[in-house]
Structure 1
Amino acid sequence: MPNLLEELYAGHMMPDEMIVSRDPRYRPVCRQISNLTEYWHKKLGEEAFSELENLLDLHAKANAMHAAAVFSHGFKLGAALFAEVFNGKDELVRPTSSL
């Protein structure tokens, strides 16, 4: 099995591209988005729809930035939890009395 740090460094791991929602509502929502996008494309015409696409692209960029911040925060929180667990391991064991 490859080393995770080496794979991440080499750019072989793209966590944001590997995550797909398992929520059963996800795919139907994606279909609705696709259908509504096509509807507005036909209704607005090329020029107005292009402007709408620019707005949607900005929204997607903002969402991507937020997702990156959430990932980073979650990773740091997880690492801090591990550090706390490892640093406090003696607190989990009842002290033995010396005989």
Structure 2
Amino acid sequence: MLLQLNGIVPDLIILGTNDSGRNHFRTGQSAQTVLACREHFKLVPVIVFEETYSIGSTVSYFQFGARGYLLKKSTENEFVKCIERVLNNKYYLSPDLHIRTLAEGPVLTA
């Protein structure tokens, strides 16, 4: 599934999904793909680019190693901001999703 061609390692992986957040099987597959990316390219950050927001899938992506999460309707500026933050070893979740995530419940536990 994941190939390292001629020793070339990407600087960033952007994983576009077709998940709607309602299909738990496909969300699980996408979360496993994030994990596979992180296992194969240990130092390469992963951004998930998804159609619709679901707290459950978002939590899974971050738990499996994603560094950023964007919706496909995000603006170009938000997309650039996400890439910059992730490439600087920070996490990114768009501000409007922060509010929705906090309203829906805790995301990550220590």
TM-score (norm 2): 0.24
Structure with the bigger percentage of strand: 2
Structure with the bigger percentage of helix: 1
The structure with more radius of gyration:
1
TM-score (norm 1): 0.26
Q: Which has the higher contact order (CA 8 A, sep 6+)?
A: 2
